[in-house]
Amino acid sequence: MNLSLEDYITEIEIQNYSKATVKNKKAILLQFERWLWESFQVELEDASTRHIKRYIKYLLDKEIKANTINTKLKTLNNFYKFCIKEKILKDNPLEDIELLKEEKVMIKPFSIDDIQKMIDFYCGSNFMDVRNKTVLTCLFETGIRSAELSGIKLEDVFDDAILIRGKGNKQRLVPVSLHLKRQIIKYRRAREKYLKGEECPYLFVCTRTKGGGLKKDIESIGRMGHEAVLNVVKRSGKACGVDVKLLVHSCRRSYAQISLGHTDLYTVSRLLGHNHVATTERYIQSMEDKTVLERGRNASPLSTLRKKYS
């Protein structure tokens, strides 16, 4: 692997990016490095704006979607910015490259009825059902990301809030509703019984199997990973016939839209851990017109005045 690329990967690992994010960025950079060499026999450090434009054309010819191409361009841009900062390069070949215009992806969020059905799907008293019900309750009640949920430690859970360790090692507190508090208490009782004295610092745990083949499998307790969390959402969604793209991020979008019926955009943005309100605004672009109109009617300033003085 290219030394500059290796240094960059080390840098983002130090910045505490998730393993999945590091893996994705590395794959994007390695793909570009391979294409650049096979097409022009040029190293990463010698790429020019012309090469970047040819790469964009190559991706478009392969019918890669604009949002995917933009993700690649952002990763390349960050890499070259790192190279300039480390005085490896003087110029950034992406400095004058504009991102492609993206089509708006309308992802329908979960409705209140959808959420209730999915949470009620895990109705058993065994550990797995109690844990999965708590996972869904936590996702819908806080709007946290899958990786953030996986990273919650026992010491992060307080009486009225949970400390969330977000992207880039940033921390924030999210409130714990009475409903979520009761579910966590129920889960921790089931968790203690399930672990049988074995210790694990993470709140949400699962059993992992090691070994295989001729070796006897060894079971160990570890924290839930992204796939396990995603499976909790998918299983309940499919069983309940919920017509929505079954992603953990859909829980986050639903939280944003429902919360905006009770509080302001800035507060929701802070609770979601967004750096910019504009990011939060994208979460509500798929809100149906009738919902927007209804909320507008309820928020009518003059209606409030009439009630006050009538």
According to CATH, the superfamily of the domain at 112-295 is: Intergrase catalytic core (1.10.443.10)
- Could you confirm whether domain 3-85 is CATH 1.10.260? no
- The Cα 144–Cα 56 span in angstroms is 33
Q: Looking at residue 77, what is its pLDDT?
A: 97
State the pLDDT at residue 300: 47
Give pLDDT < 70 ranges for the chain: 1, 104-107, 168, 209-218, 244-246, 284-310
Cα-only R_g, the chain? 23
CATH 1.10.443.10 domain position(s) in the chain: 112-295
What stretches of the chain show up as alpha helix (H) in DSSP? 3-14, 19-40, 49-61, 66-85, 112-121, 127-142, 146-150, 178-195, 226-239, 248-259, 265-272, 277-283, 289-298, 301-309
Q: Identity (one letter) of the amino acid at 18?
A: S
How many angstroms from the chain centroid is the CA of residue 201? 22
129-166: string of b/e by CB count within 10 Å (b at 16+)?
A: ebbbbbbbbbbbbbbbbbbbbbbbeeebeeeeebebbb
Structure tokens at 147: 């990786």
Dig out the tokens for 30 from the structure: 């390695």
φ and ψ of 86, to 5 deg = -85, 5
β-sheet bridge partners, residue 193: none
Span(s) in the chain for CATH 1.10.150: 3-85
pTM: 0.70
Long-range contacts of 268-272 (CB under 8 A, 24+ apart): 268/143, 270/172, 271/142, 271/143, 271/172, 271/174, 271/175, 272/143
Q: Using a CB cutoff of 8 Å and minimum separation of 24, what contacts does 184-189 make?
A: 184/134, 184/138, 184/157, 186/130, 186/134, 187/130, 187/131, 187/133, 187/134
Tokens 């999945």, located at residue: 20
Q: What are phi and psi of 248, to 5 degrees?
A: -60, -30
Q: How many CB atoms lie within 10 A of CB 87?
A: 7
